[in-house]
Structure 1
Amino acid sequence: MFPAHPNRRGSSVLLAGASAALLLACTSPPPAPAAAPPVPPKASTTPPAAGNTGPAAPRLVVSAPIAAALSTFTKNGVTYHAVLQKATFTYDDKATGTVPLKLLTADLDPLALDATIRQGVCSAQGSAFNEQTVDYPYAAVMTRGASLDAVAGPDRKPMKLRAMDDSGTPNQSVFSGVGKRSIEMAYDRCVGGRKADGPGHRLDTYLPDGARIALRPAGSPQALSLTLDERFVPYILLQHKGNRWSAAPSRIVLVDIDAPTRRVHVHYRALFRASPAIEQVDLRALTSEAPAGTASDSETPQAARKRTAALLAHLSRCERRTGYSEPCADIARPVPAEALR
Structure 2
Amino acid sequence: MYSRGSEDGYITIFISFSSIKIFKDSNKNMSKTTIKPKIILIKKDLNKIPEDALKEKNLLKLKLINNEIKNVPKEIENLKRLETFDISNNSIIHTYTKIFELQKLKILNLNNNRIINIPRQIGNLKKLKKLQLSNNRLKQLPKEIEQLKNLKELNISYNKFDTFPEEIYELKQLKTLWMGGNYFEVLPIEKLLTQLPSLKNIYTYSNIKYHNKNGQIDNNYIRLSKIRGNSYAIFKQKPKDIIINEISSTLKKMTTYIIKGELKNFFESVSNHETLFQPSELKSIYSLQTQWNILENEIHTNIISIDDETIKKNKIINGLLGIVLKS
Give TM-score scaled by structure 2 length.
0.32
Of the two, which has the highest radius of gyration?
2
